[in-house]
Structure 1
C-alpha cells in the first residue's frame, strides 16, 4: 500500500454537505494530477494530489448510497425528527451521521498505489481495528462481505462506504466516538436488519470525544497505508 505524502485536511465540526464539497474539490485535484502525470513533460515519479478529509458532522443527517433512497413516507418521517437527508455517491444503504462521529474521506489514487478496491476497503477496516485494539477493544473485528465495516459482536462501531471513479477514491468511513445512538433506531443501518450499532464511548464506559481519537486514527492511517500525512495548517 506504499504511497508517499498525503495532504491532511482537518475540518472540525462542519455540516456534512460542506465536508462533501471539500472532498469533491480534492477528487478534482487528484484527477488533474493524474492527467498531468501522463503528459510527456511530466517529471519522473510525479506525485499524486492525494488527501484525507476529516470532519465531525455539525448536525444530524441521514445519508443513503447507490442502493436507493428511502421512500417518500420514510423520508418525511426522518425530516420530522429534525434531520437532514442527503444522497451520496458511495456504496451502501442508508445510515446516520451526526455530532460525535469521526468522518474520514480518503482521496487516494489506487492505480498509482497498485491497490485493488477490495484491498483498499480491507485497509480501512484494518486501520479501525488497529485503533480499537490500541484503545483496549480487543474484540473489534472485520467480517466477511456483505458485512463491511468494523464490529463489536453483532454491533457495528464503524461504517464504511466508498466510491471509486477512474481509480480515485472518495467517501470512506464513519467511526462512532460519542454520537447519540438513538438516531440509528429510526432506520435499518446499512441495510442489515437484526444488527446493532455501538460506539467507542459505549464500549469503553466513558465519553470519548472525536478530538481524543484524531491522533490515534492518524497514526493507524499512516501505518496501514504506508504514507506520511502532511498538515498544511490553517
Structure 2
C-alpha cells in the first residue's frame, strides 16, 4: 500500500461477532506491520453489546435475549448499547503513536468525523458535547455513539451511526448509560429513508479529511 494509506474493508451486512473477528485480524496486522485499516459493516441482526463498565445483570440479560437479540461483550469503553440493521459500524484500526495523536484527541477526531458527515447530509445542527456525553448529538438525542479501545497505541472499535435503525430496540436499555438522553437516526432527522449504503461515500470523504489519508479498498485484511 502507499505510505500513509488506510486499508478499507467493506463487509456489508454481517453478524456483529464476525465483524469483530475481522477487526481483530486487522489489529494483529497493525501490530506486526504498522498497517492501518478501517472496517465498515452493517450488523445483520439485533445485538446488545457492552464495554468495560459492566454487563447487564442476569434478569436484564434474560429479558433482552427474550426479545430476540444476541448479547456480546466488547473490549471497548462505555456501557451497554444496541447494534443492528440500519446502523453503520466503523472500526478504525490506527496507530496513534505514528500519528502523534493522544487518545482523547482521537475520540475528538471521531466526533469531528461524525459532525462533518452530518453537515454533508444537511444536518448542520449536529454537535459534540463535553464528557461524559461522547458522540454526535442532534438536540438531546444521540445519532452517533463512540466507544474505543487502545492497546500498544493501536485503536479498535470506534463508532456506530444510526442511519435507518429501528430505534425501538434502544427503549429496553439506558443507551451508553446516559439517563434522560434520547437516540435518533439520520432517517428520522432528515424525514426520509437513509440506508447504510447511501452514507458510505460521504462517510469515507469525511474520514479522509479528518485523518488526512488516502484509502485503499480491500476484501480481506491480508490482501
Q: Distance in 2 between matches of 1:152 and 1:4?
A: 33
Q: Distance in 2 between matches of 1:137 and 1:223?
A: 18
Q: Distance in 2 between matches of 1:24 and 1:135?
A: 31
> Aligned residue for 2:84?
98
Q: CA offsets per residue over residues 15-49 of structure 1, 9 Å max, x none?
A: 0000000000000011112xxxxxxxxxxxxxx20
> Aligned residue for 2:6?
6
Q: Distance in 1 between matches of 2:203 and 2:213?
A: 13
SS in 1 for 2:160: strand
TM-fit CA distance, 1:66: 0.1
Q: Extract unaligned runs of 5+ from structure 1.
A: 34-47
TM-fit CA distance, 1:4: 1.6
Q: Distance in 2 between matches of 1:104 and 1:149?
A: 13
Q: Distance in 2 between matches of 1:132 and 1:23?
A: 25
> Aligned residue for 2:125?
139
Q: Does 1:210 align with 2:188?
A: no
TM-score (norm 2): 0.96
Q: Distance in 2 between matches of 1:131 and 1:20?
A: 24
Q: Distance in 2 between matches of 1:84 and 1:133?
A: 33
TM-fit CA distance, 1:233: 4.9
Q: Distance in 1 between matches of 2:218 and 2:55?
A: 37
TM-score (norm 1): 0.92
> Aligned residue for 1:186?
172
Max Rg structure: 1
Q: Distance in 2 between matches of 1:142 and 1:206?
A: 24
TM-fit CA distance, 1:134: 1.2
Q: State the superposition RMSD in angstroms.
A: 0.9
After TM superposition, where is structure 1 displaced by more than 6 Å over at least 4 residues in a row? none
Q: Does 1:219 align with 2:214?
A: no
The partner residue of 1:175 within 152, 161, 164 is 161
The partner residue of 1:57 within 20, 43, 48 is 43
SS in 1 for 2:198: helix
Q: Distance in 2 between matches of 1:136 and 1:205?
A: 12
Q: Residues 34-183 of structure 1 correspond to what in structure 2 (within 5 A)?
A: 48-183=34-169
The alignment of Structure 1 onto Structure 2 pairs a total of residues equal to 218
Q: Distance in 2 between matches of 1:150 and 1:29?
A: 30
SS in 2 for 1:130: helix
> Aligned residue for 1:43?
none
Q: Distance in 2 between matches of 1:233 and 1:151?
A: 32
